[in-house]
Amino acid sequence: MAIRFLAYRPVFMTDSDAAADLEEQPPLREDPALLERLRNDGEQVLAEAFAVNRERFWHLVTFRMDRRIAARVDADDVLQEAVVAASKMLQHYLRDENYTLFIWLRMIVAQTLVDVHRRHLGTEKRSVGREVSIRGNQYPQTTSVSLAAHLVASQTSVSKSVQRNEMGQSLAAAIEQMSPLDQEAIALRHFEGLSNVEAAQVLGISVTAASNRYVRALSRLKEILEELNLDG
């Protein structure tokens, strides 16, 4: 059964060639008119922004959430908590306008998810207690595990729970061999639905580098799926 990639629009400077990707990354700032609205009517603007981007934030939460707590934590509750957190931190954003409002709110949602994991899992995961940064992968569940879980879940041919678990472990191990930056390129573009420009800002690399990363990573992922007989 072929993997059916979701039809969304499509932190780590750890691999050796990542430094070159930092070149020519322009600052991406919010529209001055929107910033003025934030200063004058922040609560309303934040509510509008969350409403417009709710689906994308929801995909972030459901994609990154650790499978061990997914049954008892509702993604909508995480988003509501993020709304409250964003309201409290709005002045911090207005003092450092180096990111678009969407990218900043995405970071707030990601940090909120980390906080939720901390409450439910304590120190069981090393990354739970770390802060989420724009350019860091601090999610409680590794990206390779999240990618594997969602890809295996789309396989109707893998029906039994044991088979799914075994395939998920094999797929996660194979994806783990990809660089963290390449894993994130797929996660951001494919599963979170970020545009190439947005993904570039999250990753802290140039737009051209982000595009090249995504194409290369997607090609490698397809090779992995073929090797595991998950390509068709």
- Chain centroid to Cα 204, Å, comes to 14
Cβ atoms 217, 33 nearer than 8 A: no
Tell me what percent of the residues of the chain surpass a pLDDT of 70.
75
> 4-13, 16-25, 46-55: which range is least confident on average?
4-13
Interval 145-184: pLDDT, tens: 889 888 887 765 555 666 777 888 888 888 988 999 999 9
pTM of the model: 0.76
Going from the C-alpha of 187 to that of each of 8, 70, 93, 100, 191, the distances in angstroms are 11, 18, 25, 20, 5
> Which tens digit of pLDDT belongs to each residue from 72-130?
999 999 999 999 999 999 999 998 877 899 999 999 999 999 999 989 887 544 443 34
Average pLDDT over residues 2-26: 43
Task: Write out pLDDT tens, residues 189-227.
Answer: 988 999 999 999 999 899 999 999 999 999 999 999 888
Question: Do residues 38 and 101 make contact, with C-beta atoms less than 8 angstroms apart?
Answer: yes
pLDDT at 137: 46
Instruction: Give, for 30, the enclosing helix (H) or strand (E).
Output: none
In this structure, the chain runs to a length of 232
Q: What is the mean pLDDT of residues 12-28?
A: 50
Give start and end residues of each alpha helix (H) in the chain. 18-21, 32-64, 75-95, 101-121, 143-153, 161-175, 180-186, 196-203, 207-227
Q: Tell the residue number behind the tokens 């207005």, with chain if given.
A: 94
Distance CA 169, CA 172 (A): 5
Contacts of 16 (CB under 8 A, 6+ apart): none
In order of start, what are the domains of the chain with their CATH numbers? 29-137 (1.10.1740), 142-232 (1.10.10.10)
Q: What is the mean pLDDT of the chain?
A: 80
